[in-house]
Chain A
């Protein structure tokens, strides 16, 4: 069975959930081979983690020489592993960095690239991806017709599947060109831990907009009761109520959770582009004419400052 390369998304060795989703997709295509580019001392734990989700092979690439050098070296690493393993496909998380790696890799390998896949279906040798475009108004099914399919996959495109793979570890020493080591991270300030799931990966997102009036207590209370991430509309971010990292929308994060709860958000196209593919959409808004209500599975016309605390209290009560 052909190998399928999966680039491991991790922070300092801690493997992130989208990696496990990619491994589940890789299993549909062939034999999953995880590619871990990181610190040598973190490799054992990361290899063990991806093995638990089906990795048959784990390529370990020590990043001592390339740490901090952005995307170009990683694209070179993948190019060299692909040359050695002739994979059936290469799966990369559709993060900002992942897409840039994928873009460079596509040119290097003369291979077709599909970004932001929300689903990947396999029928025999044919790998068909699904993308959601034009603010989620259209669904596009596409296939790669040249080279090795390179697919950048969005979070929540598949459910992680536990189940051990062979997990054979192979140290891979890549040759990195000097040209790839020119743009460098000078300083990095890790985001303050919120104790909540990451916005793009969360199964549930609770967002607030202009209607919060800047008071996110009710929004955050409901988010915590549901174990959700907190998001914000552009209006809330522009007003300085939340940093840009919370922004859901075309120029912020594009999310696709199981449940999206929009509170005090009118539903401008900018915002819809960032959340319209959510499986279930709920809105609370005082204005019954708000366009967000055109999208919802369930909507409440009312004041979020009274509705949300009541919902939160009831959820807490049921949890006991």
Chain B
């Protein structure tokens, strides 16, 4: 099998260094806060581009795919600037408040609409919800195997091999295309868009799709269709400043030992 299409999944998330908050209906505020392409998805874009670059004899198209509000266009734009060939943005008011289950449905249907590629690449988690399950759910929906959390990626012909730090061992995992791949921040620093890349991105195709376009009923997505319900969101009370001592001639160690003993850790 030759590799002709790679779809890379990118998510627009609230900036983790800014003020992240929830809306009155307990969904993440994705409109009233500064957002950007999830840092962990930049590694996915990078690996998709590297795979393409390492296989110059094949005509490979890298498509960045996102689901999100109008502002989410920024996420696929960044991917285009980095070097993706085209972008697809699924946007529909009905999607707001969707859980991972519905998100994976929208992604699966969008991918079926644009054509299931030989390789789908995602990041290890989003930097907001961070469930790390969407790639697994997408693979399940598309009936594909998944090769996940790669620190090193190699591909040749229809074979993909990765190395990863598994839960209890360092593992080498092999799979045959088509498959879903996810990569970690260990896989290699993501490139910065060059000036040339930024200019070129303006001319690259960006396709906007609605739920109707991909054949998803609005009733299947959004907050009301979620299979889980958030009952309560509470801001963690600021940790009341604990006791802080200055170490002078060993006094710090003595005080720390007393603290640990008072908490029964020793």
Contact = CB atoms under 8 A, between A and B. Distances in A.
Interface of A: 11, 70-72, 75, 95-97, 99-104, 106-108, 110-116, 128, 132-147, 179-180, 182-191, 198, 204, 226, 244-245, 250-251, 258-259, 269, 280-282, 284, 288, 293-303, 306-308, 310-311, 314-315, 318-319
Leading 10 A-B pairs by shortest Cβ distance: A302-B247, A112-B227, A103-B136, A310-B253, A103-B133, A183-B145, A146-B227, A183-B175, A300-B252, A141-B232
Contacts, number: 255
B236 A136 contact: yes
Residue from B145, B184, B241 whose CB has the most chain A CB atoms within 10 Å? B145
Given A103-B100, A104-B139, A307-B252, A251 B185 contact: yes
Nearest to A268: B17
A185 B217 CA distance: 38
Contacts of B145: 70, 72, 179-180, 182-183
B20 interface: yes
Contacts of A185: 171-173
B148 interface: yes
A294 B244 CA distance: 10
Given A107-B101, A113-B228, A182-B176, A99 B133 contact: yes
Nearest to A190: B169
Contact of A187 (B133, B167, B171): B171
Given A115-B131, A140-B232, A97 B139 contact: no
B11 to A, nearest CB: 15
Residue from A134, A182, A185 whose CB has the most chain B CB atoms within 10 Å? A134
A293 to B, nearest CB: 6
B143 A138 contact: no
Interface in B192-247: 226-236, 239, 241-247
A194 to B, nearest CB: 12
Interface string B38-79: 001000000000000000000000000000000000000000
B147 interface: yes
A128 B173 CA distance: 36
A183 B165 contact: no
Contacts of A111: 227
A301 to B, nearest CB: 5
A187 B184 CA distance: 19
A137 B235 contact: yes
B239 to A, nearest CB: 5
A51 to B, nearest CB: 23
Contact of B242 (A110, A140, A244, A296): A296
B173 A139 contact: no
A237 to B, nearest CB: 9
Residue from B26, B129, B227, B234 whose CB has the most chain A CB atoms within 10 Å? B227
